[in-house]
Amino acid sequence: MMGFALVTGPCVGCGRIFCYSPTKVPSVRVNGSREPICAGCVASANPQRIATGLEPIQIVPGAYDADDESEL
């Protein structure tokens, strides 16, 4: 039997509900815990991050798709 994992929750940046891979979604640290961030907020945040000398947030392939259970 094969299964998949897909998480639905709010983006830490904009608060919109979105679906993401629990193991691949980009996240940012807020008060010590990692919080998921949507692709739109990543695109909005990266120019400012680069301008201030930080590395841009990378979106890995499959970050907003379901994980196969074998990847968990």
User: What pLDDT digit, counting tens, does each position of 31-71 carry?
Assistant: 999 999 999 999 999 999 999 999 999 999 999 998 877 66
How confident is the model at residue 40, as a pLDDT?
97
Q: Is the pLDDT of residue 72 over 60?
A: no
Structure-model confidence comparison of residues 1 and 34, the more confident one = 34
Angle at 18 between CA 15 and CA 19, to 5 degrees: 150
How confident is the model at residue 3, as a pLDDT?
77
Three-state DSSP class for residue 52: coil
How far out from the chain centre does Cα 4 lie? 17
